[in-house]
Amino acid sequence: MIMKYIFLFVLLISTGCKSFAVNNYKGLVIRSAMPIDNKTYENWNGEIHFSPNAIFLPSTLQDLINIVKLAKTNDKTIRCAAQGHTISTLSVTENYLVVVTNLTKVTIQNDPKYGWTATAEAGVSLTDFETALRNHDPPLTINSATVYNTLRASGVIATGSHGPITNSSIMPDQLCSMKIVTASGEVREFSKEISESEFNVAKLNLGLLGIIYSATFCVQPMYNLRMNDTFYSINEWLNPKNLKELLDSSDGVEFFYWPFNGFNQSDPKPLDPNRDQIWVKTFVRTDDPASFTQQQLEQSLPNQTQEAIQQYELRRTLIPNPEKTPNVTATLWNGLTSFGNTSFVYQVPDAMHYVVSEESIKLELMEIAFKADPDLSNVVAEYLFIMKTLYDFAGEGKFPLNIFVDFRIIKSTKTLLSNTFDKDPEALYCHIDFVTILDTPSWQEFAQLIAQRAFDQYKAKPHCAKEWEFIPNVDSYLANAFSDQIKQFEQIRAKYDPDKIFFDNKSLQDIFNIALGSQNGEDSNKKKV
Ligand SMILES: Cc1cc2nc3c(=O)[nH]c(=O)nc-3n(C[C@H](O)[C@H](O)[C@H](O)COP(=O)(O)OP(=O)(O)OC[C@H]3O[C@@H](n4cnc5c(N)ncnc54)[C@H](O)[C@@H]3O)c2cc1C
Ligand SMILES: *[C@@H]1O[C@H](CO)[C@@H](O)[C@H](O)[C@H]1NC(C)=O
Ligand SMILES: *[C@@H]1O[C@H](CO)[C@@H](O)[C@H](O)[C@H]1NC(C)=O
Ligand SMILES: *[C@@H]1O[C@H](CO)[C@@H](O)[C@H](O)[C@H]1NC(C)=O
Ligand SMILES: *[C@@H]1O[C@H](CO)[C@@H](O)[C@H](O)[C@H]1NC(C)=O
Ligand SMILES: *[C@@H]1O[C@H](CO)[C@@H](O)[C@H](O)[C@H]1NC(C)=O
Ligand SMILES: *[C@@H]1O[C@H](CO)[C@@H](O)[C@H](O)[C@H]1NC(C)=O
Ligand SMILES: *[C@@H]1O[C@H](CO)[C@@H](O)[C@H](O)[C@H]1NC(C)=O
Ligand SMILES: *[C@@H]1O[C@H](CO)[C@@H](O)[C@H](O)[C@H]1NC(C)=O
Ligand SMILES: *[C@@H]1O[C@H](CO)[C@@H](O)[C@H](O)[C@H]1NC(C)=O
C-alpha cells in the first residue's frame, strides 16, 4: 500500500529542480571579497547571461561591507544574485555582481517578543533553512513557501515570492526583521518596531536598498497539512460558489489548468474543452499524523527526479512538433490521475514543495496577480478565458503552453512594491502562473496577449522575478499602476542610497523614471496624480 502511495507521489511530480549545486558562473576561482574579472554569469534557465566588471562570492558580513566600500572607491554599481532562478533582468549589471550563495548560516532564537524566530543569512536555501528548523528541538516551520526549495532566502524575499497559504500572503510578510548592508557600508536593521513604513520598503526591495545580509523569520512549532488532490469536470464543478466554499474551508487552495487533458487518443478529433478536468489541490491544517516517514519521502526522491526528467524529455519533443501537444499533455495527465483523488498528510515543508526540484529542467514562466472579486467570479472567468484562448490558439495550429497554468489565491500585503499590495488587509489576490518548456513556440505571443488583457481588465501586475519585460509598453503601464507606491518607496530608497549604487540602469530605472516624472523617462501616457 505504501509503495503505491509513493508511486503516486512520484506521478504527482511534473517539473522541478532538486540539486543544490549550481554552477551559474563559469570558472570561478575566488577568495571572499576579492573581485573576479572577465567572468560570465548565467541564470538558471540560461536566458540571462552577462559579463559584469567583477563577480564576488562573499561568505561573511565583513565581505559584504568591504564590497560596498570597494564599489564606492571604484565608482561602481552593485547588483546581487542568490540561486539565479529569476528570469527577468533584475540581477543584470555591467559593474559588480555579488552572488550570496556562500552566506549560509542559520540561527534559531526564542525571542521574548516574537516567540521562535530563525535567521537565515542571504544565501541559505529554503531546503537548508527548513531542515535546520525541522531538526531543531522543538521542530519548527515557516507557514508558506514557494514550490521550489532550491531558491535562497534573499532571492525569495527581495522579489516578494509567495506560496499557496491564503492567510500567509507573500514570504516577506513572514519576516520579523532583516539586515541590509546599505550604501554607507553600514548594517541596517529593519523591522515593524523600528519603522513600519521602512520595513514595508525593505521587505521587498528588488535589491534597491543594499545587499541583504540576513532575514529573520517568525516561525511556528512544526505542524501537519492535509493535502488533497481532486480532479473535477470543469463544466460541472468550476463556479464561484464551489471555489469560494473550498477557499473558506481550507488554509490554501491551488488549482491548475492542464492543457487539453480531456484529449482522447482513440477519438482525437475535434479538440473538445467540454471533456477537460480541473486539478484542485487543498491544504488544511490537521492533527493527523504524516502519511509517510521522512525516510520514505527521501527514498522516493530519485524516482521522482527520474520521472520529472522523463516528462521533461517528452515535452521537449513538442518544440519541433507543437501539434502533438494534446496527445502528450493528455498522456501525462492520465498518469497523474490514474490513482484518482488522493488525500495525504505532510509536514508543512513537504506539502509546500510537492514538486521535486530538478535543476536540469528549463522552463518559461510568467505570473500575473490581480484583485479577486469577493465572490471569486473574476477568477473563474479568467480560468475559462485562458482555457478558451489555448483552444483558439490550437485552432490556428499553435500550442504555446505544455505544462500547466497554476492558480493561487492569497491575501494582500502592505509591502509597497508587491503585485498584491492593497490598503485593505483582507483583500484577496489571485496569482496565475503560466508554465511551459523553455523555447516553446508561440509562448511570447500567448503570454503577451494574456498579460495585456489582464492589465486592461483587472489592473493585473506581473511577478517581477518571472518573465514580463517582453510585454509591450509594460514600463509605462507599471509606472502608472505603481505610481503612488514608487513615490513612497523612492523616499526611503534615496535615504539609504542617494548615489544610486544599487540602482543599476535598465527595466527598474525606466519604470521609476516614468513614475517619478524625471526628464529621462517622461511618458505622454502618464496619468497626472
Ligand atoms: C522553477 C521556478 C519556480 C518558482 N516558484 C515560485 C513560486 O512558487 N512562487 C513565487 O512567488 N515565485 C516562484 N519563483 C520565482 C522565484 O521565487 C524568484 O525568482 C526568486 O527570486 C528566486 O530565488 P533565487 O535565490 O534564485 O534568487 P535570484 O534569482 O538569484 O535573485 C533574485 C533577485 O533578488 C535580488 N537579490 C537576491 N539576493 C539579494 C541580496 N542578498 N541582496 C539584495 N538583493 C538580492 C536581486 O535583485 C536578484 O536579481 C519560481 C521561479 C522558478 C524559476
Ligand atoms: C563557497 O562555498 C563552497 C561550498 O561550500 C566552497 O567549496 C567554496 O570554497 C566557497 N568559496 C568561497 C570563496 O568561500
Ligand atoms: C576574457 O574574455 C574575452 C572575451 O570573452 C576572451 O576572449 C578572453 O580569452 C578572456 N580572458 C580570460 C583570461 O579568460
Ligand atoms: C484567516 O484570517 C481570517 C481573518 O483575517 C480569519 O477569520 C481566518 O480564521 C483565518 N484562517 C485561518 C485558517 O487561520
Ligand atoms: C499519441 O502518441 C502516441 C505515442 O507517441 C502515439 O502512438 C499515438 O499515435 C498518438 N496519437 C495521436 C492521436 O496522435
Ligand atoms: C475515447 O474514445 C473512445 C472511442 O470513441 C471511447 O470508446 C472511449 O470511451 C473514450 N475514452 C474516454 C475516457 O472518454
Ligand atoms: C523506484 O523505482 C524503482 C524502479 O523503477 C523501484 O524498483 C523502486 O522500488 C522505486 N522506489 C521507490 C521508493 O518507490
Ligand atoms: C474525485 O472527486 C470528485 C468530487 O468528489 C468526483 O466527482 C470524482 O468522481 C472523483 N474522481 C475519482 C476518480 O474518484
Ligand atoms: C480531503 O479529503 C478527505 C478525505 O477524502 C476529506 O475528508 C476532506 O474533507 C477533504 N478536504 C478538503 C478540503 O477537500
Ligand atoms: C547605464 O548607464 C550608464 C551611464 O549612467 C550608461 O553609460 C550605460 O550605457 C547604461 N547601460 C545600460 C545597459 O543601460
**Three-state SS letters, 434-502:** EEEECCCCCHHHHHHHHHHHHHHHHCCEECCCCCCCCCCCHHHHHHHHCHHHHHHHHHHHHHHCCCCCC
Question: Is the pLDDT at 11 greater than 80, yes or no?
Answer: no
Helix (H) or strand (E) holding 393, with range, is helix 377-395
Question: Is the pLDDT at 481 greater than 90, yes or no?
Answer: yes
Does the beta carbon of 268 lie inside 6 Å of ligand 5?
yes
In this structure, which ligand is nearest to the CA of 507?
A: 10
Give the closest residue (by CA) to ligand 7 atom 9: 3
Domains and CATH numbers, the chain: 22-99 (3.30.43.10), 224-474 (3.40.462.10), 477-524 (no CATH)
Question: Is the pLDDT at 524 greater than 70, yes or no?
Answer: no
CB 159 within 8 A of CB 26: no
Question: Is the pLDDT at 2 greater than 50, yes or no?
Answer: no
Determine the distance separating the centroid of ligand 6 and the alpha carbon of 395, expressed in angstroms: 22
Once rounded to an integer, what is the mean pLDDT over residues 175-198?
A: 98
Question: Is the pLDDT at 106 greater than 80, yes or no?
Answer: yes
440 secondary structure, DSSP code = -
Does the beta carbon of 505 lie inside 6 Å of ligand 10?
yes
In this structure, which ligand is nearest to the CA of 233?
A: 8
Does the beta carbon of 444 lie inside 6 Å of ligand 10?
no
CB 90 within 8 A of CB 107: no
Once rounded to an integer, what is the mean pLDDT over residues 506-528?
A: 67
How confident is residue 46, by pLDDT bands cut at 50, 70 and 90?
A: confident
pLDDT score, position 518: 64
The region of weakest confidence among 38-52, 292-306, 401-415 is 38-52
Once rounded to an integer, what is the mean pLDDT over residues 329-342?
A: 95
Question: Is the pLDDT at 152 greater than 50, yes or no?
Answer: yes
Q: Which residue has the higher pLDDT, 445 or 16?
A: 445
Mutate to test the pocket of ligand 1, among 14, 25, 156, 437 (most ligand atoms within 8 A of CB): 156
Question: Is the pLDDT at 336 greater than 80, yes or no?
Answer: yes
Question: Is the pLDDT at 314 greater than 60, yes or no?
Answer: yes
How confident is residue 23, by pLDDT bands cut at 50, 70 and 90?
A: very low
Question: Is the pLDDT at 425 greater than 50, yes or no?
Answer: yes
Q: Which residue has the higher pLDDT, 39 or 491?
A: 491
Residues 350, 298: Cα–Cα separation, whole Å: 11
Which residues have C-beta atoms less than 6 Å from ligand 7? Answer: 6-7, 299-300, 303
Which residues have C-beta atoms less than 6 Å from ligand 8? Answer: 230-232, 340-341
- Nearest alpha carbon to residue 442 among 402, 502, 488: 402
CB 441 within 8 A of CB 319: yes
Amino acid type, 72? K
Calculate helix-pair angle for 377-395, 443-458, nearest 10 degrees.
150
Once rounded to an integer, what is the mean pLDDT over residues 129-135?
A: 98
In this structure, which ligand is nearest to the CA of 412?
A: 4
In this structure, which ligand is nearest to the CA of 144?
A: 1
pLDDT score, position 525: 38
Once rounded to an integer, what is the mean pLDDT over residues 206-210?
A: 97
- Nearest alpha carbon to residue 398 among 406, 407, 390: 390
Once rounded to an integer, what is the mean pLDDT over residues 111-138?
A: 97
Question: Is the pLDDT at 307 greater than 90, yes or no?
Answer: yes
pLDDT score, position 185: 97
Q: Which three cell numbers stand for residue 504?
A: 543599476
φ/ψ of residue 404, rounded to 5 = -160, 170
Give the closest residue (by CA) to ligand 5 atom 9: 265
The two most distant CA atoms of the chain are separated, in Å, by: 70
Does the beta carbon of 80 lie inside 6 Å of ligand 1?
yes
Q: Which atom of ligand 8 is nearest to the CA of 231?
A: 1
Mean pLDDT across the chain? 90
Residues 496, 502: Cα–Cα separation, whole Å: 10
Contacts of 457 (CB under 8 A, 6+ apart): 378
The region of weakest confidence among 56-60, 206-210, 426-430 is 56-60
pLDDT score, position 38: 57
Q: Is 444 exposed, middle or buried (0-12, 13-18, 19+ CB in 10 A)?
A: middle
Which residue in this structure is represented by grid cell 521609476? 512
Does the beta carbon of 284 lie inside 6 Å of ligand 9?
yes
Which residue in this structure is represented by grid cell 478558451? 388
Question: Is the pLDDT at 455 greater than 50, yes or no?
Answer: yes
In this structure, which ligand is nearest to the CA of 264?
A: 6
Does the beta carbon of 506 lie inside 6 Å of ligand 10?
yes
Does the beta carbon of 321 lie inside 6 Å of ligand 5?
no
CB 265 within 8 A of CB 386: no
Determine the distance separating the centroid of ligand 4 and the alpha carbon of 245, expressed in angstroms: 14
Question: Is the pLDDT at 220 greater than 80, yes or no?
Answer: yes
How confident is residue 270, by pLDDT bands cut at 50, 70 and 90?
A: confident
CB 298 within 8 A of CB 367: no
